Amino acid sequence: MIPYKFALVCVDESSQWRGHWPKGEVPEIIAEDKVGRIFGMYLVDLKSHTHCCEATPSYAAYFVRNEAERGYANDELAEALADYLLGENSEQVSYFHCSCFDSFPCLNDGKVQWPPPEDASGLVIPLFEFRDGEHVAMAGEVEDDEAYNKLLGEVEEYVHCNW
């Protein structure tokens, strides 16, 4: 049996977006005073970890999208920001040390808190599904790798369509 517990993890990636620009030359569309922090949002199985050529365990994180802390009130600028952020991420799977995600605050009640707290560099949002009239955590066990990979694909599709 293979256990699973899916979550959406938001990681503050502001420094990656703005850090490589010379001071004063950050594109206005991602300027901190305009959009606040910029988060990478990833689908993660909190019950599964791997070792990437080191003893420290890591989670495989499947990229969903980038999200700005504050969007624009103007729909046209909001759409341009979304296009800019989407177009800049080329890694579909990234690896993060488990201790990094395990240190983030976790929303256990299923309510989305946006943005993550100021003192946190990320946020873990457990995924829930609506089953038999109730919200149930996307957690449990599957028989084998084939069943797990099928489930992972279904959850990825769910997240991409609903987040």
Q: Whole-model pTM?
A: 0.84
Using pLDDT thresholds of 50, 70 and 90, give the confidence band for residue 99. Answer: very high
Tell me which of 71 and 70 has the higher pLDDT.
70
Q: Could you tell me the pLDDT band of residue 87, with boundaries at 50, 70 and 90? A: low
pLDDT at 133: 72
Given this model, what pLDDT does residue 118 score? 84
If one compares 87 and 119, the residue with the highest pLDDT of the two is 119
Indicate if the pLDDT at residue 6 is higher than 90: yes
Whole-number average pLDDT of the chain: 83
Per-residue pLDDT reduced to its tens digit, 109-153: 555 567 788 888 999 988 887 667 776 778 889 999 999 999 999
- pLDDT at position 56 is 93
Percent share of the chain, pLDDT over 70: 88
Model pLDDT for residues 20-33, shown as the tens digit of each residue? 778 778 888 788 88
SS3 assignment for the chain? CEEEEEEEEEEECHHHHHCCCCCCCCCHHHCHHHHCCEEEEEEEECCCCEECCCCCEEEEEEEEEEEECCCCCCHHHHHHHHHHHHHCCCCCEEEEEHHHHHCCCECCCCCCCCCCCCCCCEEEEECEEEECCEEEECEEEECCHHHHHHHHHHHHHHHHHHC
